[in-house]
Amino acid sequence: MEDPFLNYFALGLLFFVVIVLVYGIIAIHDIPARIAHARHHPHQDAIHAAGWISLFMLHLLWPFLWIWAMMYRPDRGWGFGQKPGEPASPQEAVAELEALRRRMTEIEARLENRDPAAQSNKEQPRPTVGQSGPAISAAEGSAPATDAVALESRGGRR
């Protein structure tokens, strides 16, 4: 009294469950590759291939593939967008450098107007960045004299 319909229904259900499980496992292993593709990851082909390898290695690589795929974002790349205090683009860096140079020349001009000793040393050329050779600035050359004056004003002896 066996019913052939129930046997065929059970066999069909068994095939259906096996196919769904296999498809589900493959779809789950494809998640890092889909994330990499959506984020325009530079290594998306490698992540996809490693996903298939992980499928045959009993899911060993899958967590690492997930992390690898999630690390890259098109708007910030591999790391954070920028560090606090750093310019966001090369143009901003150049503009900041020029602003600092202007401020430095203004400060130097104010100091030269205040210091009469600097007026007498004006004919000596100031060393520039990248210039080789032993060059001593006016401030370095007059340091012992200013130390002696400061010491005498406090009542000390040299």
Q: What is the pTM of this model?
A: 0.48
Q: Are 62 and 37 in contact (CB under 8 A)?
A: no
Q: Are 50 and 67 in contact (CB under 8 A)?
A: no
- CA contacts within 13 A on the Cβ side of 105: 5
Write out pLDDT tens, residues 102-157. Answer: 999 999 999 988 866 655 665 566 666 655 555 454 444 444 555 554 445 555 44
Write out pLDDT tens, residues 57-105. Answer: 988 999 999 999 999 888 777 776 666 677 778 888 899 999 999 999 9
